Each structure stands twice: as C-alpha cells, then as structure tokens.
Structure 1
C-alpha cells in the first residue's frame, strides 16, 4: 500500500511539473495571477531560497528601507509570501509591474494625501528599479520585500491612520476597519490595473475628507509660492488699525490676495482702506477671530503664520478622519472642538445646521477628549450630580463659611441610595461620603436638557443658563462637557429623526414645565463624533483654520516626526468616568 501511495504522489508531482516549475507544492492562497515562468531557472533558485532570503523574513529590520524597522508588519509580510508560495509579486519579465509603478507614483505623491513620501522610500525607488537590470536574485528579492512593506504601510496609513488614537487616550476603535493586509495586498494590490482607484476605495468615503484633500493640494502650492517669493512678515502693531489708519497696505494686500480674501491687482500704499478692511473680515471669519474688520495684533499674528503650518493643520485633520470607524465617517452630529461648533447632518451627509458650543477648559485637565459614540437618550429638566472632586474644590469652601450655602444655591445632599438628607457636614461632602446634586430648573448648571451618548469620560451635550458665553469668540469654559447654544432646536432636531410627534413646541413645554429628570430614549441611536480638526473645509470650499487649543496637533506631530513604526497602544491608562456628572 505504501508503494502504491508513493507512485500516486509521484504521478501527481510529475503532472504538476508539466505546468509549473515550482513542482509539487500546496495551493496558492491568493487571487492574484501566477507570476511569469520566463526566467524559470532564476525563479527556481529564488523558490529554493523561498524567494525572500529567510534572514530577511525572520529579521524585523531591513537596512535598505528609509525606516528599517518593520517589526509591526513582519508577521504580515511573512504571511503574504507564504500564501503566494513565495512567488515574487512586483516584477515580471525582469521589470516592475504596472501595479508596482502605480504605487511608486503614489508614494511620490503621498504629500497630497497628507502623508510623508519618505515614509514609503520615495527617493529610493529610481535606484532600485535601475538595479533590477543586473538580474540578481537577491536584487529581485530585496525589491519585492521593500515594495511589499511600503505598500502595506501606505494602504494601512490611508485606511486607519498612522498612529492608533488609543495612544492619545481617545476612545476611537480602528480595529473594525483594519484589512487583513496579507490577503488584501495580494488579492487587490498586486495585480491592480487602477492604483489611484484602489487607493480611493481604501480612504474614508466622506465628502468632507475629500474636500480637505483638495484643499491640502491647494495649500501645498500656496506654501511653495510663499516660500519662493520669500514674503516678509507683516509688521506688528500695538493697537488695532481701523479704516483710514496708516499701515503698509501693499504688503497686506499681497498677503490677503494669496488665500483669496481679496481679489484683483490693487495699487495700495500706506492707507488701511475699506477694501482692505473687507479682506481682513474675510480672513478673520476663516480663522476664528472676532470679525470687526480691524487690523488687530491677533489678526496680524494669524496672518504671519507660515502656510506650511496651515498645510500641517490640514494633514492632521486628514489623519483624524482616517481614524473614524465606518458608522462615524458620515455622522449625524459632529462637534469640532477647536472651532467651538456643532454640526448636524442630513441622512445624505449634507450640513443641516450649525450652532456654537462651549467646550472643556484648556487649563485644569478639563480638556474635552476626542471620541465616537451613539446618542441614545435625552433627559429633560435634569439634576446635576456634582462630581466629588468639584464638590470638594468648589462647594466645600463655601459650605465651611456658610452653613446654608447649598440650600441657598439650589443644591441638595443625598446618600448612596438617592435619599435626600437634611443633616450633613462639609467634611462628609469633602470625603465623598454623601452626594451633592443641583435641583432641576432654569438655573441648573446643566440647563433644561442634556443629550446622552454613554461613554467612559462621562461627557455629554447640555444646555446652560450661562448663555452670554456663546458671544465669545473663544469658548473653552466647561469642565469637559459640551454646552449647546440652541438646546430646544437641537432637541427637536434629534427627536424628529425618530419619527415621533415631538416638535419645537412640545420640546419647549418639556423643558420649561414638564416633569423633572424625564428621560426620552431614542429608537434609533444617532452617531456622534467629538472631533478635533484645526482645519475645516466648508461646503463651498472655503478653508477655515483654528488654534490648536489643546495641543492635540502638536502632540501628534511630535509622534509622527519619529517615523514608523508608529505607536499602536496607549501610553497611559485611559481616564474613567468618576461618580457624578461632568459639566
């Protein structure tokens, strides 16, 4: 029986040899076309070495790469070649495939995607292609591995971003978006006839993302133009210059003309006239500055920001768009923190409304985090359950000086079961032995409605009695939660998405005279993104820029400057919600 089995195996191998120089080997796990057998002897030698020298696959570094450490991809690269039975992937007939050429061009153009071309060996490909002419097996192998590593890096970077948002303690899960890179690259990239089309499918399917990408291309050109012209910074002023005031008008006109805030070739001398003031208004409106048309020190400071920094802001915004899981790439609600604005979107992903918001303070560790969640319910006329640390820091000193302080300020104290207490002490509050809550009503710190999307930070949207803050240009005043300018309109909009009988009048009644702490659940949760984009492109293509109020951009740029492999895990424990409601 053993002899018969061996004969059968031998026959199978003989038949296999008639169609393949690889002999009797296992089935390939890829949809890509088998590679050429024109150089059969050369390929066979490569196969005997498993195409890729074993030391290359086992190593986690490849010296010829710009960033030699590919430990984060090493296992995937090995799987890629194992699935192909170690066939080469990126050359045919001794030359790069059309797909390889397409990706080499994509690496060269990576800056237009907000990426760094040298992360994908942009400057090294010409020499590698030229070296293929020596027909060395090792040269083909090295070219192939380098191409595989860089294609995987490029596709992954466009798909889920370079740095895992968990590294910044942001609650965004990119895991569900990840490709099986070994399979995806082998089945889709190796034989791609339209590399740009493949890349477009990898990127976020978001009109805002695409607009930001177009804007980036424009600002890359403007930055080069500014650098070539060597424009001098605008002179600073001690106080605002109004219409009719003296200022180097020609230099200011040229700067405003660069981004399109003024049009035409005007002859300006030393007078700050109305035409310039109108251009300044346009610039101020795009940069989160009070729109008064005056040439203020803040306006000049913003005008003097190099356009290379505006390019970086667009790049950072694109990076964060890539983080968003599929349900949130086109959310129904999005808060852009540095802009201090909330947007609502139609089911067709068009902007339906905008309103101003107040976000967490820059100081005191009250920054509002970046995350995605589903809005699940509203609470009309809510209590504010005061977090223990806020009670200790902000209420206890007043209680010590005035025994009736809490009652006079509409607060009450409860035990852990929610029973209202009449006897309590400042010491109990300071130690967290009892809970303090603010009674519902128009003076409640949370206002008359809050919008809940349960999350580990205990962050939510809510109304506020402090409406004057919405008139400020910069609006970071909260303990982390997000106060909305038009709570009735927002509640009516949210509830209208559920198909019930809620309208603006019914919402107004619930807020002003309805039952306290009344919860209304959403039949269909709404995706909401708490976002951080210091560059935002409006639907008309106009680009707006904002200050990096929390330093999130600077933090990310510092990480990206170190090159791959980029961090994939948190660097610190993720903060958890504490008892009580953040405000």
Structure 2
C-alpha cells in the first residue's frame, strides 16, 4: 500500500506538469488494473516487482522532500484516480520512493475507510455476522436489564462478535463448564429450569441457530450469577422490616471472570455465598434429596412422546411405540428399573408419566410434553427441603464479609427463631447467650446488618413513638397516673409532639447496658430487668429490640475485641452501674447481623429446624413456587410508620414535666435520643435529666 500511494504522488506530479494530459492508453489502464483495491480480507500490499520501471519519470533527488510545486503526499493519496505521466506505451514507470505511513493510510474522498482485518477465524465468521445483527436488532429479547445488555454488547464487540461458547461449531471448555454448572443448579438451592441450556448439537450446522444458542447461554449464565449472588427474590418482597446491603453482580466482571477461568464451572459457582453455614446447608440439601454428590437427572427438551396401543390382534406391539434417546433417562427419573436402556416409550413409561402428572397437578395424559418435562426437571420438594432452600436463599441476602478485618473478622450474629446471639472472631465462636426477640406481627424484630459503634452503661430509655402513640397515650386516657407509677417522664414539645423517657436505674426497661448499632428500624440490644423470660424455650416477647441474658459479659467480650489492651471484665462493667449515662465507644465498629435461620447445621453437624415464628418461610416458599421473584427490579421503600399526634388535650391529671423540650434544631432529635448520637458529640442534657459521661479510647 505504501508503494502504491507513493506511485500515486509521482504520477500526479507528472500529470500536473502537462497542460492538457492525453487520455490513458490500454497499457496504462492495465497498470491501473494491476493495483489491488482494498478488501476486508488480508491481501498483501503490492511490491516493486508488481510494476515496470519508468525511465522517463522525474524523481526528486531528496526522497524525503517532494519537488517544488508538487502535490503533497497526503493530498496525492486522496486523489480519486491515477493520472499517467506519458502516453508512450514503450516507456515504463520508475519505482517511486517509499511513502510515509500517513500517505499510505489516508482514505480517498467519498469512500469509506479501509476496515481492519477481522481476527475472527474464517469458520466462525458467519456466526459472528449473525451475532452482530442480532445484538443490533434483538438484544432486548435476551437481555432485558440495561446494565447487562450494555455489558454483553461491549464484550461481544471487543471480540469482533466472535461466538463466546463455540469454536468452529464445537463447544469450548468454558461452555462445557458453564453448562455443567447450570444443570447442577438444584444442588445450590436454585431451579435448573430458570437457566435453560440451548441445544448446540442441533444448531451446529446453521449460523443463525449457533448465534442464538450463544446468546441464550450467555443469558442463562448471567441469570445464574445474579441469582446465586443476590437471590431469586428481593428481600423487600418478603417483609417491610428487612434491610440488607445490596451486592448486585457486575455483568462485565462475570463475563470476563467465567470465560477467562481455567475452570468455568468453579468460577460460576463462586457467586454462591461463601459462608460456612450456607455450605453445610447445601450438603444437607443433597442428603434430603437422596442424591449425595451426584447431579440430578435432567430430561432434555424434544418432541412430545405418546404411547399408542397396537391396533388389531396380529399387529406387533413394538410397531406402535415411539422411540427416543431420552427414554432411558426418563425411566431412571421415574424409578423404572426394568429394561433400563430401552428407548421405546412403552406402556409402563406412559403409566409412570401419567402418575407423575397427577402428583404435580398436571392433566394425566401420559404424554411427555413440554410442561411435563419442565415439571420433571423441577427439583423434588417436601417441607424440610423447602425450608432448607429458603434458608439458603436468605444467606444470599447477607454481606459476603460478615466481619471487620481490622479486628480479626469479628462480628455478632443473632438468629431470631433460635433466640441465640453469638460473637464470632477468626471463624470461631467466642461467646454466646440467649436473647428475647420481638413479638410476631407489628413488633417483629427486623432483619438487618449494621455496625455497633458504642455501648451505653446506665441508659435512659427514650420510648419509641410506636409505644407512645399506640400504647401509653391510650393508657393515659384510662389512668392518668400510669406513667408516674412506671417511673416515666412525659414532655411535650412546642409543636405538640410527645416525648416519654425513663431515667437510668435498676428498674429501667433497658436494664443497665444498651448496645447501639444505629438503624432505621430504631432497634438495639439491651439488658432487661425481666430475667425470668430467658428460661423459656420460645422467647418472642419484646417490641422489636433484643434483650440479652448476660449483658455485662457481652459488653466485656466486645470491648476486649475492639480494645484488647484495656482488659475489660464483667466486674469492671458492673462497677460503672449508677445514675449517669456512660458511653464506651469502639475504636473499630463491630458488624451486627440479625438473621432468620429456621434451618441450620449445629456444631455437631446435625441439621436443626426451628419454628417459623414470623411466617417468613411460608411467604418465601409461595414466591418461589409461583416464580414471582425472578425478575423483580423495584425495591420497596422501608419507612417507619407515621404516628398521628394525640387529638385534643391530654387528661388534666397527667403529669407533664416542667422542662418541656423545644423542637428547635439545637435539640436532639428522636434518633439521637434513642442512640445517644451514634458517635457524634453528645448534646447537652436538659435540666433535670441525668448527666452523661462519655468514655473514648
């Protein structure tokens, strides 16, 4: 190309020197024809041997400088045609000097730039062209999520639309790994029917079919990664009192990670939760299904199979039967051991299909149709299996890293249905205790992940609005002295809002210690004067907060994790008990994870089940069975309920504190009153309130 472009420059220079250039001769037209036109294919550039030397052409003695008055090389390369330097057929053209790169690559005006050669192998180019067309016109059919569609388009563009999963029509190692993982999705508590695997063998001879299969497998892979990491439903579908941090997949990362991995199956499996308790549940799920480490039998899609009895007395029975290579798998799936390798869809197979259809509420026709195949591939269900699956699903909602790395991956995990709290560090249990949790219904303890920032010794109980407006104010209408008898103080702001609090002391509803992890649900962990409830097996009695059986020990454990050199003991904590609030702030906050595990594996390796006290399992099983959670994109807002102010005046006998607080910006809001500021400077206590001491390290 460089030689050809320079040839153009010299030819045009000679042409300009003649006032009336003659028409090209046949020989000169032959020269034009000898110059190859640019094509997408890899055509080698012309060399000096492709042209005869021209002894009459004038060449500049300085190859780096064009003759005076000549056209610039860049302009020459853009000329629409080649002008001859002579019409003498006996004269030849000399080889021009080598042209610069700029001269060689400049496009001709009015023509498209020369396309770079494709890196796609010739065998895959037809499929690549179809993939290019399908991504331009049908991408939303396969990828309805905007971020995934953009990532897929970018990934295919980066490889010139070469197919991801095949080479020359044959499956790659990555494709085989992905297909294996998708077919074993039931082992992960997922449904293989949600991740269909296209039939590449049937598509091998048709570029259109191969391109579509490539996109479908990409779609199924992304669906699996997303649901394995974040769940098949969003937690907001289950209840308004659940809030965990979002951790969606990055589709670009998934594509690069899985296609570039040595083991694509393991790479895709890596999007499942890494937690030990999740993996133990997965092993128990396999035991419940009776499949051990083996993969479930999957019946491929195909034509409908129907048994037809032989007609006539002398007609052979075998002649009336359909045959299909899927029948041996079908026999194994339905428990037919006789003639296990027989491919005929005989009377026994049809009867077994009919019985299966009745068990899953399908019309018992005995015909193996698409709906029956899908039902056969849906994992076996029973109550225990369903319970394990929804608990595996809830593990997908939790953060991948439960603890804080700076303090040995320490964290607190509380299991509501088991009424237990555990402190974990470096993968081992450090301490555990019993807890009391919220009542079912309106006072259920929320599921959340937050960080505990400090502990308050001798806390003031600032009564939540739900209790004030739903319980205490109605009680005041019946007995105006009830708050005084309970040791509670009522204050009314200028805007009419009510604040009720209880000062520190032995009778305080929060006991002697409060554990603060500020959250939108306004719940925390605390001590309690009602110790008798810890002796019960079922302990759902609170208004949503979590009561801890041994708060002095709990406080010492947490403080020693965050400040090991201080050597806190339960005795040291108890020595702080008094009438003034004391905040002990953590240099490193400790993550707190409130969970709902109705099925878990204990330390002895035994599968344990607990009562579904809040009905979370039932809601989730219904969503999964009806497939209502697969494509949810909208997250339900979680706002605290609005409580209307009391209508009319309070009863005349109600004792309202003289130090009624202002609703101005300088006063602490309810969130600050409840959690003590959460690490912010403590606001000055109103006159008459107990003083607060703050300990920071």
> Among 202, 226, 243, which residue is 1:131 paired with?
202
Give the Cα separation in 2 of the matches to 1:13 and 1:317.
Answer: 64
Larger Cα Rg: Structure 1 or Structure 2? 2
Matched, 1:24 2:141: no
Matches within 5 A, 1:339-418: 339-346=418-425, 348-363=426-441, 365-416=442-493
Partner of 1:61: 141
Matched, 1:202 2:271: yes
Is the contact between residue 222 and residue 254 of structure 2 (CA under 8 Å) also seen in structure 1? Answer: no
CA gap of 1:48–1:197, structure 2 versus 1, over 3 A, is closer
CA gap of 1:54–1:525, structure 2 versus 1, over 3 A, is closer
Partner of 2:535: 471
Give the Cα separation in 2 of the matches to 1:521 and 1:332.
Answer: 16
CA-CA distance at 1:138 after TM superposition: 0.6
Partner of 2:193: 118
Partner of 2:605: 541
What is the RMSD computed on CA atoms of the aligned residues?
3.3
Q: Which structure shows the bigger proportion of residues in helix conformation?
A: 1
CA gap of 1:189–1:396, structure 2 versus 1, over 3 A, is closer
Is the contact between residue 504 and residue 579 of structure 2 (CA under 8 Å) also seen in structure 1? Answer: no
Partner of 1:570: 635
Matched, 1:312 2:386: yes
CA-CA distance at 1:307 after TM superposition: 7.5
CA-CA distance at 1:568 after TM superposition: 2.8
CA-CA distance at 1:190 after TM superposition: 1.8
Partner of 2:415: 336
> Among 555, 571, 575, which residue is 1:505 paired with?
571
CA gap of 1:544–1:8, structure 2 versus 1, over 3 A, is same
> Among 204, 207, 212, which residue is 2:281 paired with?
212
Partner of 2:228: 158
Give the Cα separation in 2 of the matches to 1:530 and 1:375.
Answer: 12
After the TM superposition, which of the residue ranges 438-447 and 398-407 deviates more from structure 2? 398-407
Q: Deviations over 1:48-95 (max 9, x none)?
A: 34445246643x335xxxxx9667743433333233331110011211
> Among 131, 143, 148, which residue is 2:218 paired with?
148
CA gap of 1:5–1:444, structure 2 versus 1, over 3 A, is farther
Give the Cα separation in 2 of the matches to 1:151 and 1:575.
Answer: 38
CA gap of 1:406–1:576, structure 2 versus 1, over 3 A, is closer
Partner of 1:422: none
Partner of 1:97: 172
TM-score, structure 2 length as denominator? 0.59
> Among 515, 529, 532, which residue is 1:451 paired with?
515
> Among 235, 252, 273, which residue is 1:182 paired with?
252
Which structure has the higher relative contact order (CA within 8 Å, separation 6+)?
A: 1
1:338 is paired with a residue of what secondary structure? Answer: coil
Give the Cα separation in 1 of the matches to 2:448 and 2:250.
Answer: 25
Give the Cα separation in 2 of the matches to 1:355 and 1:222.
Answer: 37
Gaps of at least 5 residues in structure 2 are: 1-73, 80-99, 108-113, 293-379, 404-408, 644-669, 676-697
Give the Cα separation in 2 of the matches to 1:563 and 1:528.
Answer: 30
CA-CA distance at 1:436 after TM superposition: 1.1
After the TM superposition, which of the residue ranges 492-501 and 74-83 deviates more from structure 2? 74-83
1:326 is paired with a residue of what secondary structure? Answer: coil
Matches within 5 A, 1:1-12: 1=74, 4=77
CA-CA distance at 1:159 after TM superposition: 2.2
Partner of 1:173: 245
State how many pairs are aligned.
453
Give the Cα separation in 2 of the matches to 1:200 and 1:390.
Answer: 46
Give the Cα separation in 1 of the matches to 2:633 and 2:470.
Answer: 36
CA gap of 1:462–1:149, structure 2 versus 1, over 3 A, is same
1:390 is paired with a residue of what secondary structure? Answer: helix
Give the Cα separation in 1 of the matches to 2:536 and 2:472.
Answer: 27
Partner of 2:299: none
Give the Cα separation in 1 of the matches to 2:145 and 2:628.
Answer: 11
Give the Cα separation in 1 of the matches to 2:289 and 2:511.
Answer: 45
Q: Deviations over 1:146-179 (max 9, x none)?
A: 110011111222222233334444321223xx44
Q: Deviations over 1:459-490 (max 9, x none)?
A: 11011111111122221111111111211111
Q: Deviations over 1:283-304 (max 9, x none)?
A: xxxxxxxxxxxxxxxxxxxxxx
Is the contact between residue 414 and residue 593 of structure 2 (CA under 8 Å) also seen in structure 1? Answer: yes
CA gap of 1:206–1:5, structure 2 versus 1, over 3 A, is farther
Give the Cα separation in 1 of the matches to 2:631 and 2:209.
Answer: 28
After the TM superposition, which of the residue ranges 515-524 and 333-342 deviates more from structure 2? 515-524
Give the Cα separation in 2 of the matches to 1:13 and 1:149.
Answer: 41
Q: Deviations over 1:523-549 (max 9, x none)?
A: 110011011121111233211111222
Is the contact between residue 418 and residue 598 of structure 2 (CA under 8 Å) also seen in structure 1? Answer: yes
Partner of 1:48: 129
Give the Cα separation in 2 of the matches to 1:51 and 1:434.
Answer: 66
Is the contact between residue 233 and residue 629 of structure 2 (CA under 8 Å) also seen in structure 1? Answer: no
Matched, 1:192 2:270: no
TM-score, structure 1 length as denominator? 0.70
Give the Cα separation in 2 of the matches to 1:521 and 1:473.
Answer: 33
1:437 is paired with a residue of what secondary structure? Answer: strand
